[in-house]
Chains A and B, each alone.
Chain A
Amino acid sequence: MPTTSKKTLVYIVEDSLSSGALYSSQLEKAGYETKHFVDGYSALAAIKEIMPSVIIQDVCLPDISGLNVLQFVNRQKSPARVIIITSNSSIDVAVDAMRLGGFDFIEKPFSRERMITSVQDAVKQINLESIESKKVKTEVLSVPEISFIGESLAMKTVFRLLDSALRSKASVFVTGESGTGKEVCAQYLHSFSARKEAPLIAINCAAIPGELFESEFFGHMKGSFSGAVADRKGAVEAANGGTLFLDEICEMDLNLQAKLLRFLQTGTFTRVGSTNVIQSDVRVVCATNRHPAAEVGEGRFREDLYYRLNVIPIQLPPLRERGDDILLLANSILTDKNQENEKGFGQFSSDVQSMFMKYDWPGNIRELQNIIENMVVIHSGDEITLDMLPENFAQSGLNITFQNTFSHHRVNNHSNNHSNSHSNYNSNSHLNNDAHTEEGDHRYEIKDIIPMWLVEKNAIEKAIEICDGNIPLAAAHLGVSASTIYRKIKSW
């Protein structure tokens, strides 16, 4: 990163003379060298001549958009880290800016601390990347074993977004059905970023009781509440320099959402029972299997927090929409499970492959993993065949394609009683696919359609019953998390 002196060079592109001068003074006091430009073209000319380490870039300029400057910077060989500064009304533009590779964005007016923390983070990232690039290539290649498998168009889009997010500190909001790999996204974003040496702290917002959440999040001081027997760091503090993964973010209490928003705006927080303000530099990745915009509409999720977190939205596709990725994943999982269990399965039979491609995979990759692990653990041989499929896989095969395929190979061998015992599922599965499917003498009509939530409720209740009331076990077989089940039960 070229600089003209030993001090780190920061450009400030801000059309207000007095505001820019104030930022310059604050940064110079903190040890940086600065240059202030009041329009975009002057900044571009200076950037061409000397690329600074960091640019504090206003979006609204009198001549060109700050986004044009950002795009220009990111096309250069050693681009500066660009911190976008914006007023509330241009938050959408800021979101676009982050997608174009902005490092951070700060809403105006902002505090001195917020600006300096962001510049420090940017410089830290540059230094780390510089150290990393000097290491031998083999080390880089062997870093984490976290990798995504997929060649579908939907996954290629996901990979592109993830890779562009690696260089940035911007918040990432991962959405997708349960079991699609949201946590893997967070691990990937952490492990391949300059923050990888610092911790990745994951919090499941649905699993922590409301009254303990603030303490878990921000930490507490000894004696601040009954049970606080010692000072304790919270997740935000523990993740300093690293990544904070907030799973099931939509389950967070509204009161805490306000506190999280404040932390995201200022980069500071206080432990429960303390007045000391602590700074923490974290990159936030959050995830939900709900539709966050709908949650905002329903008033369960703060709109301002949503926009703050949804800087880089990543939508993970369900497994059923990933085409040939299903078999790629299945083969990869089979290899892993073979190694773990010292088995020698070489492949799936063509029938199993065909069934995998037709099945709906409501539990997504987690369900696929569970089913393959089940077969590998229980059976031995060279090939995974239809008769090795777990019984619960057959029972939860809720869609017609699966039922048809399965009936050719297996159901004929079962007793009529067995078929009848799952009539509820069978009728649902037919109806989900065709409202006018004929079976025997009965012709299904619109009135026979069972609402999706009821189908889901039946499936969950049946699973819990089969597992003798053991919800975590039922959840495992259904391929979802126990907290999802608890939440569903609460909503009925």
Chain B
Amino acid sequence: MTTHTRAALEAVALGKRFGRRGGWALRDCAFRLPAGRICAVVGPNGAGKSTLLALAAGLLGPTEGSVSVLGADPARARARVGFVAQGKPLHPQLTVAETLRMGADLNPGRWDRATAERVVTAGGLDPDARIRSLSGGQHTRVALALALGKRTELLLLDEPMADLDPLARHDLMGLLMGQSAQHGTTIVMSSHVVAELEDSCDHLLLLGGGRIRLAGDIDELLAAHTRLSVPAGSADLSTHTVVESRTTGRQLSALIRPGAAPLPADWRTGPPTLEDLILAHLRNPGATALTTTAPARTEEIRQTEQTEETTA
């Protein structure tokens, strides 16, 4: 199941704690994202999304474990990685044109001026406008232009679309998809709006409480789960991993990861939607996590986990 193509992002036992006695923002994080994918990092506020992206961008150092980016450690991969932080920081005193010129000066040899300017002009931005005079959406556009202008192999975007109107959101998403298709850029973007990512992403990283809940190819993750609806008391779910089950009246509805034994033919089953899958895992933090693309070194652990799941 694990593809052995080059990894864009790979974490092994990654953990980050802020302060010596502070809580863990991220813990026991292990996953592998193959290059060329568009990955959604989903989770509620405080799940550790921003921390994970900042660790990958080399803005933070890990407290334990390690993360590697494009096969190198984040500090050595800076030139090949683009990052847009949640707050979209830019220098307010510079103009739009100056901001792009700064990008060109700071990234000699890997600056794509045409792309950067296209992103800005597509939004109808005045190059001489000061950053501080821009609206939220225009601000985001310049921040994205700065990240896209830097010819990168990996783009890390923290809540990139949060303050955009639907039109601009659609527009910029298209731009990102185009970038990925044209240059094979891996894109990792966080969000807590599932609908925003469903159409464009092929990989999912679901975080909850600083831990990975689901990681892997979205199709594989969906295929690994089944939604079922059976009369309460009649079904024995013990051979399957139950993510969530609810009894309403005499009906039991559940989201399960089917075990080795085939499901009885008289059960009403169906494929879950991505939203079903995500919400079920977030509502039930006790459910076993599932990682379909684990880093090479934790492959063994994953196997053990699956054995446990089947015997559970």
Q: Do A and B come from one complex?
A: no
Interface residues of A (CB under 8 A from B): none
